[in-house]
Chains A and B, each alone.
Chain A
Amino acid sequence: LPEDRNQPIRVKSEHFDGNRADNLFVYIGNVQISQGSLRILADRVEVHGTAEGEIQKVVATGEPAHFQQQVQQSQTPVKAKARRIEFRVNADALQLSGDAQVDRNGNTLSAEKIDYDLISEQIEAQGQSGNGRVEMIWQPEKKVAGQPPGGQEGQEGQEGGEVPAVQNPQAQDTP
C-alpha cells in the first residue's frame, strides 16, 4: 500500500551480524521482514543502509525467498518468490532472480529473472540465457453472479460490447 513506506521496517531472525563500517546488516535463519502490508520471508537477508541509518536496499535469498505486498487496498496482495529477491526501498522496485514467479490475483508469471516496479506495476521478465522462456498463466474471467450460463445476450449486456477472447486488465501491464 502507498502508506507502507511510511511504516517502520520490522525484522526477526535467529542470528544477526552487523558491520557498521560497511553499513551492512545480515540477518540469518528464518528471517521475517514486515513493513505495513509488505512481507518478506527468507533464509538470509542483507540490509544495506546509509551512514545515517536509512535503508537503501534489502536482498533476500532462500529456497525460495518469498515476497508479498498489497499494492492497492481493494486487491489481493501481489506474491512473488525466487531464490534471490532484491527490494530497492526508495524506488519501490523488486528484482527477482532464480526460478522467479509473480502471482497477481491468480495470474502467474514465471521466468529466470523478473523486474517488477511496484508503483507503475510494470513487469519485465527474461528467460534463462539461451532458449529459456517466460511463462504467463491467466485465469479465466470469473462469471458475474446472476448472469445466465453461456448466453450470448447475457454477455453482451456486460459493459455493452462484444466480449473479447481475453479480457484482463493485467494484459495491458505487460510490455
Chain B
Amino acid sequence: MRTWLPLAIVVALISVGLWFSESPPQQLLGKRPTPKEFDRAADLIIRGAKTRHFSPEGTLAYRLDADSVTYFQFARRDRANLDQPRIVFYQGQSPRWRTESETGVAYNNGERVVLRGDVNIWELPQAGGIHLQTAAITIKPREEFAETDKVVKIAAGANRTEGRGLRAYLKEDRVEILSEVQSIYENQ
C-alpha cells in the first residue's frame, strides 16, 4: 500500500502543474478583475454627472450625463456603471445620435458602452431621423458600430421596421436586422 503513495503524489503534482500551465485562470494574471476586485469599493462616484469624452484627435466624441457614475479602475481596465445615462455621440463636429436608457456600463474609457433597460436612440437632427427602441444594445463609439441580439423597433418617419438582432454600421448609414423582420411602409 505504501509503495504507490509517493507515485500517486507525484502524478497529482504533475497534473496540477499541467492544468495550471495549460489554462491559467485569467484573474491570476491580472487580465480580468477577480470577483473580489469586482465588488470592492468604487474608485469614484459622481452624482448628477456631466462628462465630456474626446477622441484621440481632440474632437468631442461624446457627452455623457447620468444621475450617477460609479467608476472602478483595475490593473489594465476600467469600468463605469451608469444610472439613467443620457449620451450624445458626435460625428465630426455635429451631434449625430442621442441615447437614453435606465442603466449602462462604459468599459475602458468608453471604448465599449452597453446600455440596458428601455433603450431609446434618436438620430439627430431629430426631424426626419430614425428612432430605435430596444431592451439592450452594445455601442462601440470609435468604430461607429452598434449591435444587439434583442428585439428592435425602428421608426423612420411613418415607416416602421422591427425584428430580432441588429447590427448598425453608423458611418455607412447601414443597418442589418438578423431575423423575424417585419416592415410597414405607410402610403405617403
Bound together, the chains give a CA A19 to CA B156 distance in angstroms of 13
Residues of A within 8 A of B175 (CB): 16-18, 20
A26 to chain B: closest residue by CB: B176
- In the bound complex, what is the Cα–Cα distance between A168 and B161 (angstroms)? 44
| A9 with B182: CB separation less than 8 A | no
Q: Is the CB of A9 within 8 A of B172?
A: no
A14 CB to nearest B CB, Å: 6
B179 within 8 A of A: yes
CA gap between A113 and B2 in the complex, in Å = 91
- Option from B157, B173, B177, B178 in Cβ contact (under 8 Å) with A21: B173
Size bracket of the B interface: 20 to 34
Interface size on A, residues (CB 8 A): 25
Q: Which residue of the partner chain A has the closest CB to B177?
A: A16
Within 8 A of B (CB), among A1-58: 5-21, 25, 27, 47, 49, 52-55
Question: Is the C-beta of B158 less than 8 angstroms from some C-beta in chain A?
Answer: yes
Q: How far is the CB of B123 from chain A (nearest CB, A)?
A: 10
Whether B174 and A9, one on each chain, are in contact in the complex, defined by CB atoms closer than 8 angstroms, is: no
Write out the residue numbers on chain A whose beta carbons fall within 8 Å of the beta carbon of B157.
52-53
Q: Which of B156, B161, B179, B183 has the most CB of A within 10 A?
A: B183
B186 touches which of A8, A11, A14, A17 (Cβ 8 Å): A8
Contact A54 B181 (CB under 8 A): no
Q: What's the least CB distance linking A5 to chain B, in Å?
A: 7
Flag whether B159 is at the interface (Cβ < 8 A): yes
In whole Å, how far is B38's beta carbon from the nearest beta carbon of chain A? 38
A47: chain B residues within 8 A (beta carbon): 185
Contacts between chains A and B (CB distance < 8 A), count: 72
Contact A18 B158 (CB under 8 A): no
Q: How near does chain B come to A91, taking the closest CB pair, in angstroms?
A: 16
Residues on the A chain within 8 Å of B110, using CB: none
Given contacts A16-B163, A53-B156, A53-B188, contact A11 B181 (CB under 8 A): yes
Query: Would you call B26 an interface residue if the criterion is a C-beta within 8 Å of the partner chain's C-beta atoms?
Result: no
The listed residue (A7, A11, A18, A55) touching B182 by CB distance below 8 A is A11
Cβ of B185 and Cβ of A9 under 8 Å apart?
A: yes
Within 8 Å by CB of B176, from A7, A16, A21, lies A16
Residue on B nearest A50 in the bound complex, by CB: B188
B187 near A: Cβ within 8 Å? yes
- Report if A6-B187 is in contact (Cβ < 8 Å); known contacts: A17-B174, A21-B172, A53-B159: yes
A-B contact sample (15 more), CB < 8 A, given A8-B184, A15-B179, A16-B161: A8-B185, A9-B187, A11-B185, A16-B163, A16-B176, A16-B181, A17-B175, A18-B174, A18-B176, A20-B173, A20-B174, A47-B185, A52-B157, A53-B185, A54-B188
Q: Report 7 cross-chain contacts, Cβ distance below 8 Å, ordered by A residue.
A: A6-B187, A9-B183, A10-B182, A10-B184, A13-B181, A16-B163, A52-B157
